[in-house]
Structure 1
């Protein structure tokens, strides 16, 4: 079952608020989500995403556009709270919902901890550089050397996380 990007983002944000991810900016969160999705796809199969949103090729690396718009007010500052959305309940009343990953999903929480361990100490800019290396999923789809907002496929993410010599999750 794929989660929403907000649920997985909130798992990282909660860890950032607990002090386990220094300076969790919107850029850094986007890249942590990209690596989480990429490693999940590599380990579980390209047809089994961790979350249901797609990444686009933007100038500074992979971005989930809807999440970008949710977080853009933070600019380069650390994210200060989890993300919520408004939904209708069964009676048609509006309610505020904060998507999350159930505590019972130990595999997903383990993956998030592994991503934090491997990448959480890097800055958003450093993570962006990792996504820009030759042979990465982001780099493979450039048009005339430019990011054009095109979608990064799950196959590209699973097969081209970053050069094999760099890191493994």
Structure 2
């Protein structure tokens, strides 16, 4: 089951608020999402979440996640992201509610991937992670110019970073 990118982003934010992930900036969040999606694709053959990465100047970016957290600039993210959805129990077609998407707390596979990405990459800064995505042979680097175009899922799975192809 693929989650929303915002639900997975919120899982990283939750761990940061618990003190398990230092200095979670919007850039760092983007790169951690890129690595968790890449590793999940490589190991499971399907995406963990349902959004695509674009090739931006500072590496792979999910535009919707960028817009959700851009207000933090280069600062630490303080709160989870939310979305507006129709209120399911209302007969009013204009009734909406704000929800904070989450991954299923019983999904140990997804939680395990998130925790492993934190273990491997969590101590690095957003800039360090961005530099890693720019290395020769990475999915970001081989998929084209930083023109906002998509990074294909199969390329992400096969070209995570040079030491792990």
Equivalent position SS for 1:164: helix
- State the partner residue of 2:150: 151
Residue of structure 2 in register with 1:112 after alignment: 114
- Root mean square deviation of aligned Cα: 1.1
Q: How many positions carry a matched residue from both structures?
A: 161
1:162 corresponds to 2:161: yes
How far is 1:164 from its partner?
2.4
Name stretches of at least 5 consecutive residues in structure 1 with no aligned partner: none
- The gaps in structure 2 that reach 5 residues or longer are none
After the TM superposition, which segments of 4 or more aligned residues of structure 1 sit over 4 Å from their partners? Answer: none
Alignment of 1:5-84 (within 5 A): 5-45=5-45, 48-84=46-82
Q: State the distance in 2 between where 1:142 and 1:101 align.
A: 32
> What is the aligned partner in structure 1 of residue 133 from structure 2?
131
Q: Distance in 1 between matches of 2:148 and 2:86?
A: 32
TM-score by length of 2: 0.95
Shift of 1:94: 1.4
CA distance in 1, matches of 2:20, 2:97: 30
Question: Does residue 142 of structure 1 match 2:144?
Answer: yes
